[in-house]
Structure 1
């Protein structure tokens, strides 16, 4: 297994002043350590957009109805969402994973059918999932990534779609960070002051219903299926030594759950951006993460991960494509 000191010495010996590429050099080191070799490749990238619905929408946590989740899945599969446009720009493949969309989705070449159940239960009044459902979601997420790795994909990008999932992610952050609930609740898809009051009331009711703090039980109490399946995907990627480019607030909640379940999973995680969603900065801090970008994004879908992908590819190319200073000075180009 390659050592960090050896990778840093290799980078310092490139045709540039030592340290002159700043955090890109740190990123190159991380990629080499994940791959276990000094020439990591980040050529083939795949974004998995995990989709699921949330019973919490019944309590008014979102400005939009659950039906929007299914409509957006159809938009992804038609190639017309923001994530599709960014994926084309970044040279990434995009697949949608049905983790728990409330409606029936017709078969499509870019749809992975992995539904556990048609949406979670309303966490404000009862457990969102059973422990068996959480375990099944984790297992399916890991198996999906095993299949991705078998296709020689170099890097996994995480995205999500699910009306109400900022509410679920806020509850997960509240218990797993841990952090004050008020510091975890943000605008999500956008709310009037009255809508934010409903959201806070629903989440306070959900949090007051259970004192769960262990990761599996927290995911069971507060959902959601797309978050649990992303958590499993991260654990599968850690097992396969595949780098994972994490998107925004909801994906970071899945990352937090994965790290709480298996701390070594942190090694494969690259955090793409700091979301404008309240609580994301604190959650990144808890994970010891410094994101690559800060663009006031809060869409989700994996858009931030796609925008950061060229930086990750550049970091890998620093190791594989840049001449050593010794070769430059000796004319061996």
Structure 2
């Protein structure tokens, strides 16, 4: 708990002076005012996060948290749970979807076993296992409060390790069969939605099984009574270890002035937890895409984030974040590489 408290105490508001200076430069660049749209706002946000008029995000990493879920027992997904264990080493091998996009963006991928149901024997997988998957949230809390805090702190620790190596742009990713169920549960609790409003097909659940998935979430909420005013309570009762890890990553990045690119539905559920723990975190988050998962837009709306693109993606892994890295870095090149009207010798 001490690590979490220390991190929260380090999170401050964005640097207004840097933002003002960058906004002034962006408004003076040799282009029609506002013609680069949200890219201009993104450049200003990056200045506020990094406290630099000319921010750089040239050392990028996607941190992928991998864990299993006891709620798998409720048949909320058609895929075997062993897929989590099979896929986790593939991130270290560089052959998953997010790895392909990260290579194109010049980013590293770090994979963390924070709660896979079996031991993962691969030197490229960071071993931070809390235990072998969460408990079945339909029968009781997914984890203890202490385990929820540990998940957050593992996310903080892993992010800080990356920041110490010079990483200046972080993307959040995850792996965990069944993890759209706890994500939908978090959104339902924090937004006071009926689970059916935010439950989707995940990795390929048949549409006629969505009622069952929603009913499992209703049962979990009824059984555990998560408190929407206590995000750690929500995480512990209906969340997942990888969701807590991603939320911790966001907290650490905010504490150290590093922008975080949020992936899809599951990452957004983690962002909801992080922002509820410390509302200032929102200003450090950059949403990548609107997930095709049914609750994707609702989750983003819940914390007031507007995605950069919508391509019907729902892979997860951090894939959307890796693609968005290119857009984020483009904003910094706009500030550094374009000249102003004055520098061009044009008087307005």
Partner of 2:260: 244
CA deviations over 1:267-315 (Å, ceiling 9, x no partner): 1100000000011111111211111110000010111111111110000
Q: Which of 38, 52, 76 is residue 23 of structure 1 equivalent to? A: 38
**Per-residue CA distance 1:52-95 (angstroms, 9 max, x = gap):** 00000001111112111011112222222111111111111111
Q: Is the 8 A contact 1:87 1:93 kept in 2?
A: yes
Say whether 1:9 aligns with 2:27. Answer: no
Mapping of residues 157-306 of structure 1, within 5 Å? 157-213=171-227, 214-306=230-322
Superposed displacement of residue 3, structure 1:
4.7
Report deviation, 1:198: 2.9
Q: Deviations over 1:210-250 (max 9, x none)?
A: 22122111111112000011111111111011000000000
Please say if residues 226 and 238 of structure 2, whose CA atoms lie closer than 8 Å, have aligned partners that are also in contact. no
Q: Distance in 2 between matches of 1:53 and 1:195?
A: 21
Segments of 4+ moved more than 4 angstroms: none
Decide which of 40, 56, 73 is 2:55's aligned counterpart: 40
Q: How does 1:287-326 map to 2 (within 5 A)?
A: 287-326=303-342
Give TM-score scaled by structure 1 length.
Answer: 0.96
Contact 1:63–1:195 (8 Å) recurs in 2: no
Deviation of 1:330 (Å) = 6.4
* Alignment partners' CA distance in 1, 2:287 and 2:52: 21
**1:60, 1:195 within 8 Å by CA — same for their partners in 2?**
no
Contact 1:60–1:202 (CA under 8 A) maintained in structure 2? no
RMSD: 1.4
Q: Name which of structure 1's ranges 27-36 and 202-211 shifts more when overlaid on structure 2.
A: 202-211
Structure 2 SS opposite 1:324: coil
Gaps of at least 5 residues in structure 1 are none
TM-score, normalising length: structure 2: 0.92
1:71 to 67, 86, 111: 86
The answer as to whether partners of 1:50 and 1:96 remain within 8 angstroms in 2 is yes
Offset at 1:194? Answer: 4.5
Deviation at 1:4, TM superposition (A): 3.2
